[in-house]
A and B are shown apart, each in its own frame.
Chain A
Amino acid sequence: MTLNLLNLLSLTIWVPIIAGIVVLFAGKNDNLARFISILGAIAGFILSLIVYLQFDANFSGVQFEENYPWIQSLNIYYHLGVDGISMPFLLLNNFITVTVIIAGLKVIKSKVALYNSMFLLMTGFMSAVFCALDAMVFYVFFEAMLIPMYLIIGIWGSSNRVYAALKFFLYTLLGSLLMLVVLIYLYYVSSDTFEIFAFYKTPLTMLAQVLIFIAFFFAFAVKVPMWPVHTWLPDAHPEAPTGGSMVLAAITLKIGGYGILRFMLPIVPDAARALSGVMITLSLIAIVYIGFVSIVQKDMKRLVAYSSISHMGFVTLGSFLFVGQYLNTWALQGAIVQMISHGFVSAAMFMCIGVMYDRVHSRNIADYGGVATKMPIFAAFFMLFSMANSGLPGTSGFVGEFMVIMGSVQTKFIYAFFAATILIIGAAYTLWMYKRVVFGEVNNKHVASMSDVNFAEFIVLFLLAFAVIAMGVYPEMFVAKMQTGVKDLVMEVANTKLLIK
């Protein structure tokens, strides 16, 4: 634990942010900006990797804790720390940023410094969200991270970017404002503190719990996104640039899932138990309904966006399965695994679409056909990621779905029945798209002029492929570090904290 003297979490958060600011000022020189960004992103990743390696899997509670007074009059502390639930996200976040920065090296030609700096800032903000143990720190960064994403869509987006960016912003704002109200309420009832873990100990009446649950639902369900507050995502993705889509799908959505685990379940466990049926139903609707919607999409990015919603349905399903008063360990752990895996797979899917978009400037499935003939290496990568998206065992995509389905059977067979339809539907939309885009005769002269992946693209795809396979073949590597955190959460949620007046 000597390394903790270095304030490892702060470094992980602030190194990319500072790099981002430096890049912003290095402005004019594009290559210098690129160089610093890459350095910043890799430094962030290495720091998060150290956190992962140093993380003690058997330690119950938070690690790498840092606690400094921030606004003392309001009892707000700059309080950081990670446990088994948040640590994997820190690693995922910094990993994805490296790939995004590399992916943007050649593609982004205008406002290079601004583009890279936005991603670095966002990484830092999101790391802070995952590390925050003070609700206000969480909230500040939770909001702050919207700004770079808003700009990324608004500046580098496609034709309809303003509508998409605004929709994204308003949708998420709705939830965040309600969350702020709740946090202030909790501040008062838990004797003037914003400590998240203090909130866990605060008894609440059922009415208060349900209201808080609803407010949190709007804050986090929009992010996930859950049906029926999901429609911003299929609009945002097609408008966002490749990097934006990758981060959006890989990490921003996960903040919703993380919020459910960090706030909703432990703060209002009785309401969560009472309303779990509703949440499960919404999740199953997301899985099946959105799955069918994905099948008929004509725009590749829209298709993958819908597929993200369907896959995130497994996260919310896994988070709300109870066996008696206990959360279902299988499903809960599966939900986290699914989030990490979906981070890799969705980022990879958007990367693949981006690679094709850069060459043909179309997202329409119908504008492609026969890509494999022109880009065999790319086709192989895309095949792997499509299979991962279809949940093939041996890839990361299988592990989370498998765990959640196994967990659902324990709670109720019918849940598993609907959840498992993703085996058929997921394969149908992913592989049907793959067939129309990659297989077949070369469809038109645009496809005929496509060239195979360049070095930067290869590196990105390779890194993602490595992650997808590593997690599929040896998930224990990730899961072992979560065990204790998940166990703690299950115990926390198992207790009733109902205040009876």
Chain B
Amino acid sequence: MTIDNKFLYLAIILSPLVSSIIVGFFGWLIGKKVSHSLAILGVLISTIGSYIVLYRVQFEGLYFNGILYNWLTVGSQSFSVGLLVDKLSSVMLAVVTSVSLMVHIYTIGYMAEEEGYQRFFSYISLFTFMMLMLVLSNNFVQLFFGWEGVGLVSYLLIGFYIKRESAIFANLKAFLINRIGDFGFLLGIGLILAYTGSLDYGVVFSHMSNFTHAIMPGTSWNLITVICLLLFMGAMGKSAQFPLHVWLPDSMEGPTPISALIHAATMVTAGIFMVARLSPIYNMSHTALAVIIYAGGINCLFLGVLGIVQNDIKRVVAYSTLSQLGYMAVALGCGAYSVAIFHLMTHAFFKGLLFLAAGSVIIAMHHEQDMRKMGGLGKYMPITYITMLIGSLALAGIPPFAGFFSKDMILESAELVHKLGLPGGGFAVFTVYTSVIVTAIYSFRLIFMTFHGEERFRHVDNHHGQDDHGHHAVEPEESPWVVTLPLILMAIPSALVGWFAASDFVSNKILSGSVANAGWFVTNMQEEIVPLKMVLEGFTHIPVYLALAGILIAWLFHKNPKWSDKLIKAIKPLYVILMRNYYMDDLYINLFAPIGRAFGRFLWTLGDMFLIDGLIVNGSAKIVDWYSKILRKLQSGYVNTYATFMILGIIILLTFCTRLIFA
């Protein structure tokens, strides 16, 4: 039984890696069809395996925590590559592999005519492997390996169009911003190792309670709070929390399938997963949890607002991802880790769906992404329209779609924290409630602008001159089945998964043993969740009406296009700030980066060239040079000069000698 399972785990992890390697190295040889079949086969094996594991973990009590091989030994400490198969990782496995499989299939259609088709499949399979390593890790080193590994693939995929300047700028930016987060993450890992003497989750959790009141040497900071915040820095990078969020909107430079897989459903939620995984540590620091609430709240509301002013269809969805990651972070900060994972799961489905649907629209529009040049597409591409509508309803939190359940639980958690008077509670309540309306506005603005109203794509592009029989002369049409099938398959869980999973997540039955919700959450959330009751009660509570109000606002603005112009004029300065992402990009690009370069140049010219080389190295050579020049003058060859110096020398010598002798 155990051997059987271990084989299963290895198959889950390694099959995407194997197919990635084969496709990556021999893709040119085996052709497109074999390549994508292999890649899909690899992920399919993973997916099936994951569901078997999910079943066994949830219903047969399967649990595995063991090592694969010994990675490194230092002194008496050894670090292994190991696996932790428990409730949390089994849920994550299912989410990751399902979305990955859908994206693999979808890619056949989306990338059909692109250069580097095989390379793309190799990358996304490699990504799946890295993500699985991250999720299944039983220790911090391997977590960091997967963490940076997914970052690498994200870097490669954002810059997939290697000739496009904006793409290769965006991927460098993404990698570096993530590295700022990882800087903190690694230091956090270092502190954990220094104090607990291990990096194994189990050992660390059991030792950590010895340090509840420990402080950082030389400071008055609580050790655990410092560790939690350093680790959260990593999460801020990966899960794009303010102010390390600036890379995510730019990551939309990558092809749309990876925006769905990496920058919505899986990789960006790694930070959320990590905090949930380490919930036993985070529960020990209220300060850290409060910080997470604030970070999440800012993301949730203030970055969500930016989604309203975007015109690029992918960017709207990207800002909505930032906002939803904020919701998850707020849930974490409220100590409702299982609720965060619940929202992570529903979000993976509906946000993955939204991106894939946006991609379908982009295909139909021949790679036009500006919503101002779309409109009225609903009747041409009904499947895309309906699935995207389902995704948007889920995102906006309309019952009984999946997002309603998870978001409602987050709202309740925030209220609970506020009621208990815990730090950050007020801010949490304010931001999560306000962003319900914001979410509905941008989601439905997108729906109305893209699928309803005037068919604006008909009267654009004429100024392109020679491109007369250009792209938009052809009627837009529904995408091929390889694109629509994943849409439909993703729409089903987007609609239903909340209904079936809500109760298990809130009572934490589905994650018990691996995620420990905060004490206050456990004691106050004991009533059983009945989905039907929750839906009906939903209509008696404010949030649903906030969401409906948001939809109404979006509709009114859609029907009266002049309103938005007037509004923009009225709030011009604010609008500019919003369009510029609160000047956060400028902060990095026009302030930090130039300062870094100037500092480097300063050190190089002043330190290396002037001080060390100029003064000391070449300086000492010059001194030798001068000295020899003076000496050369003495070597004149005239006897009288020599004689003069000889006599002078004798006199000096004698003076000193006599002094020494007679003193």
Contact = CB atoms under 8 A, between A and B. Distances in A.
A329 B74 contact: yes
Contact of B597 (A295, A421, A424): A295
A428 B189 CA distance: 22
A165 to B, nearest CB: 15
B501 interface: no
B391 interface: no
A408 B617 contact: no
A234 B604 CA distance: 11
Contacts of A370: 163
Contact of B163 (A373, A383, A427): A373
Given A393-B149, A399-B72, A424 B180 contact: yes
A420 B597 contact: no
Interface in B496-553: none
A295 B73 contact: no
B596 A406 contact: no
A104 interface: no
B74 A409 contact: no
B190 A408 contact: yes
B555 interface: no
B187 A417 contact: yes
A428 B604 contact: no
Contacts of B217: 413
Given A296-B597, A409-B194, A231 B617 contact: yes
A427 B176 contact: yes
B149 A394 contact: yes
B163 A293 contact: no
B587 interface: no
B613 interface: yes
A474 B69 contact: yes
A372 B115 CA distance: 13
Nearest to A428: B176
A405 to B, nearest CB: 6
A474 B69 CA distance: 9
Contacts of B73: 476, 479-480, 483
Interface residues of A, number: 56
B70 interface: yes
B603 interface: yes
Interface stretch (A16-24, A254-262, A360-368, A432-440): A432-440
A475 B72 CA distance: 6
A424 B144 contact: no
A487 B74 CA distance: 10
Nearest to A387: B152
B176 A416 contact: no
- Determine chain B's interface SS by DSSP, over half rule: helix
B162 A439 contact: yes
A393 B81 CA distance: 13
A424 B244 CA distance: 13
Interface residues of B, number: 50
A289 interface: yes
B145 A476 contact: no
A410 B70 CA distance: 23
A372 B176 CA distance: 21
Given A296-B601, A428-B596, A393 B216 contact: no
B112 interface: no
B615 to A, nearest CB: 11
A99 interface: no
B589 interface: no
A410 B194 contact: yes
Contact of A293 (B71, B165, B169, B608): B608
B596 A416 contact: no
B69 A420 contact: no
B191 A413 contact: yes
B561 interface: no
A423 B186 contact: yes
B13 to A, nearest CB: 14
A413 B600 contact: no
A420 B186 contact: yes
B159 interface: yes
Contacts of A292: 596, 599-600, 603
Of residues A392, A408, A432, which shows the largest number of chain B Cβ atoms within 10 Å of its Cβ?
A392
A413 B597 CA distance: 27
B149 to A, nearest CB: 6
Contacts of A440: 162-163, 165, 168
Contacts of B453: none
A171 B410 CA distance: 65
Contacts of A431: 172, 175-176
B214 interface: no
A441 interface: yes
A231 B608 contact: yes
A228 B612 contact: yes
Contact of B600 (A228, A231, A294): A294
A333 interface: yes
A405 B162 contact: no
Contacts of A405: 186-187, 190
B179 interface: yes
A171 B176 CA distance: 36
B574 interface: no
Given A392-B152, A474-B69, A480-B73, A373 B175 contact: no
B51 interface: no
Contacts of B156: 383
Nearest to B155: A431
Given A296-B604, A409-B194, A420-B183, A373 B162 contact: yes
Which of B159, B162, B596 is packed against the most chain A CB atoms within 10 Å? Answer: B162
A297 B168 CA distance: 20
Interface string B636-661: 00000000000000000000000000
A440 B165 CA distance: 6
A289 B159 CA distance: 29
B86 interface: no
B460 interface: no
A347 interface: no
A32 B71 CA distance: 44
B596 A295 contact: yes
A223 B604 CA distance: 20
B186 A289 contact: no
Interface in A136-174: 167, 171
A416 B193 CA distance: 13
A406 B187 CA distance: 8
B202 interface: no
A279 interface: no
Interface of A: 167, 171, 228, 230-231, 234, 289, 292-297, 329-330, 333, 370, 372-373, 383, 387, 392-394, 398-399, 402-403, 405-406, 408-410, 413, 416-417, 420-421, 423-424, 427-428, 431-432, 435, 438-441, 474-476, 479-480, 483, 487
Given A435-B168, A440-B165, 17 more contacts: A228-B607, A228-B612, A289-B607, A292-B596, A292-B600, A293-B607, A329-B74, A372-B162, A394-B145, A413-B187, A413-B190, A423-B186, A424-B179, A428-B176, A435-B169, A476-B71, A476-B72
Nearest 10 CB-CB pairs, A to B?
Answer: A409-B190, A292-B600, A393-B145, A296-B600, A439-B168, A295-B600, A293-B604, A329-B75, A409-B194, A410-B194
19 contacts: A231-B612, A292-B596, A293-B604, A293-B607, A296-B600, A296-B601, A370-B163, A387-B152, A393-B144, A399-B72, A410-B193, A421-B183, A427-B176, A428-B596, A438-B162, A439-B163, A440-B162, A441-B163, A475-B71
